[in-house]
Amino acid sequence: MRLIRVALWLNISLLSVSTSGLAQRATDPPIMSQPLTKRLIDSLESVLNRFYIFPDKAALMSKQLQAKLKQGGYRTLTNPGKLADQLGQDLQLVHADGHMFVRYDPAFARELTEIDPNRRRIEDSLALRDAMDENFGLKKVEILEGNIGYLPVYNFTTFAELARPSFVSALSFLSKTRALIIDMRYNGGGSPEMVSQLGSYFFPVRTPFTTIENRVRDSTYVYWADPAKADGLYLSMPVYILTSHSTFSAAEDFSYSMQQAKRALIVGDTTGGGAHPARPFQLGQGFLINLPFAQSINPYSKTNWEGIGVRPDIPTPSDGALEKTQELILTEAMEQTPSDGQKRKLQWAVNELKSRQKQFVVAANVLAQYTGDYDGLVVYMKNNKLWCKNTGRGNEITSLNPIMEDWFTLNEQVHFQFIKGPNGQMSGLKMHWRDGREIPVGKTEN
């Protein structure tokens, strides 16, 4: 597919220090004479001034290249690959831009000029098939303990209209949750149309999301979070967005736009920092320049995240960002609710989260103090581990896994809290149920 080949060319170019070897295909490259070099630099100047997102920098770059050409600075660079590398270095000296580089790649340049409608239709069909196989970036939707919605989004598909039913279904399922976590940690970007589509479910009125200034189209386009596109669905709960260093491009756009509009808190690592779309432009003679041709401008900050990334409101290592966010939501909910029953349910969820995050270690000699018969719940040790035999349920045996001091999980519904008497010995336990019930159980004396 043509899009895949473009991506591969960009990746190889970004990783390569020099591509003179790549440019040397079946035949040796031509010798760059001074007239050919001048023609190349004139073409480069024209592309820079016409398409580069910073016209003032383009003018300085053009002036620098033309001055060096007149001084004979490129006279000895007759190899096109080495000439391309030097031109790229000279551009960077004027203005450092990680998206911009010059390459000599005649095979790829020819491919960019080929227009084959049949091939394009096949590529579009395959791209749609791939998007459908990935369910337009949605792989699962989940309600976590404490009624917290969880939606990982793995990309922003270019097929925004076709993706709408999937997103409406997912978000409708999560619409009654107390808070929503949108996971962007593994999202490398995609379409700005899909960014504004997803944003449309979180605002009651039409709200500017981001503006893209595009010099190729000579246009400025505002993307809106628009309830008219939300199929009647509006989500008002608090929103948290998880980010990582791998969060990039359109995923950063969504995260930054939601953050700047005060509609979401960002939790995790600072993102990759890519706000300037770039693509290769032909220079003639087999040369190309990869050039940022557009930039995102946020309506609130009046800037973007290029080179610096989206900075989290709550910085935390990305691999633990989900658990951190769950704990924040549950703790805040406990502080706000006046109901003791609700507090107990939320505390159960916090404890369950702790049990899954990190194994609390209890020494074998300490475990031994919990053993005994608690009104038919027989707690005993085997292989340095605590077990419970429920004589009231046919001697059902379950392992007890420590959460914290004196607290253990019995199963997905019950936690045990062992209670110490005045003498420091265990006098009973309290069964904490997922639904908020607490049942005290005394210890049977031998």
How do the residues of the chain divide into helix, strand and coil, expressed in percent and rounded to 5?
40, 25, 35
Between CA 150 and CA 325 the distance in angstroms is 11
- CA 290 to mean position of chain CA atoms: 25
Looking at residue 126, its pLDDT comes to: 85
Looking at residue 359, its pLDDT comes to: 78
Residue 418 maps to a domain: yes
Residue 49 maps to a domain: yes
Between CA 209 and CA 225 the distance in angstroms is 6
Q: What is the pTM of this model?
A: 0.83
Residue 295 maps to a domain: no
Count of other CB atoms within 10 angstroms of residue 355: 18
Average pLDDT over residues 245-263: 96
Between CA 435 and CA 237 the distance in angstroms is 22
Task: Let me know whether 189 and 253 are in one domain.
Answer: yes
265-268 and 239-243 strand pairing: parallel
Q: Are 414 and 348 in contact (CB under 8 A)?
A: no
pLDDT over 90 at 59, yes or no: yes
Q: Which domain holds residue 203?
A: 138-274+309-329
Using one digit for the tens of pLDDT, what is the confidence trace for 168-205?
999 999 999 999 999 999 999 999 999 999 999 999 99
Task: Let me know whether 165 and 93 are in one domain.
Answer: no
Task: Let me know whether 175 and 62 are in one domain.
Answer: no
pLDDT band, residue 27 (cuts 50/70/90)? low
Residue 281 maps to a domain: no
Using one digit for the tens of pLDDT, what is the confidence trace for 79-93?
999 999 999 999 999
CA distances from 48 to 41, 54, 55, 239, 292 (A): 10, 9, 8, 41, 10
pLDDT band, residue 291 (cuts 50/70/90)? very high
pLDDT band, residue 115 (cuts 50/70/90)? low
The structural domain count of the chain equals 3
Residue 286 maps to a domain: no
Average pLDDT over residues 416-439: 94
Task: Let me know whether 147 and 107 are in one domain.
Answer: no
Between CA 202 and CA 226 the distance in angstroms is 9
Which of 2-11, 222-231, 290-299 bottoms out in mean pLDDT, i.e. has the lowest? 2-11
Residue 296 maps to a domain: no
Residue 129 maps to a domain: no
Find the CATH number of the domain harbouring 344: 2.40.128
Average pLDDT of the residues of the chain? 91
Count of other CB atoms within 10 angstroms of residue 397: 13
CA distances from 17 to 7, 74, 103, 273, 283 (A): 18, 19, 11, 22, 20
pLDDT band, residue 446 (cuts 50/70/90)? low
Task: Let me know whether 316 and 168 are in one domain.
Answer: yes
pLDDT over 80 at 19, yes or no: no
Task: Let me know whether 320 and 371 are in one domain.
Answer: no
